[in-house]
């Protein structure tokens, strides 16, 4: 298992700034002493119960940062360019019979299904 570069205390600070939540407000929401919030903000890691409570208090899912799912973009990974190889697109059109003939859709659909 590779070691993570996530520094949770710093990330919590960033979310607090983004959501304009002060240390005093966070300590009130968590029902802890302000010193506990100060200590938490200096930590590289915290326990899962605290992470859950902070996520709820700030309405931000910090647990997603630790996801090992390939679709999840973790904050400790460099930004990667994702390429779309295929896409399924559904389009509903109303065509008259002569338009279908012009577009040669019957043949193309038969080829695709055949």
Condensed to tens digits (0 to 9), the pLDDT of residues 48-81 reads 999 999 999 999 998 888 776 655 555 544 444 5
The model's pLDDT over 8-42, given as tens digits with 9 standing for 90+, comes to 999 999 999 999 999 999 999 999 999 999 999 99
pLDDT over threshold 80, residue 86: no
Q: Which residue has the tokens 């983004």?
A: 18
> Does 1.10.260.40 match the CATH number of domain 8-66?
yes
* 3-class secondary structure, 53: helix
User: How far is it, in rounded angstroms, from Cα 92 to Cα 111?
Assistant: 20
User: Quick check: 19 and 60 in contact, CB under 8 A?
Assistant: yes
Q: CA angle, 56 as apex, 52 and 27 as ends, to 5°?
A: 90
């Amino acid at each position: 298992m590779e070691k993570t570069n996530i520094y949770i205390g710093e990330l919590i600070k960033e979310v607090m700034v983004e959501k304009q939540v002060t240390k005093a407000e966070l300590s009130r929401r968590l029902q802890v002493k302000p010193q506990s919030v100060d200590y938490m903000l200096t930590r590289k890691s915290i326990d899962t119960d605290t992470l859950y409570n902070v996520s709820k208090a700030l309405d931000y899912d910090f647990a997603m940062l630790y996801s090992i799912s390939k679709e999840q973009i973790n904050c400790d990974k460099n930004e990667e360019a994702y390429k779309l190889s295929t896409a399924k697109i559904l389009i509903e059109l109303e065509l008259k019979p002569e338009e279908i003939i012009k577009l040669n859709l019957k043949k193309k659909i038969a080829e695709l299904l055949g």
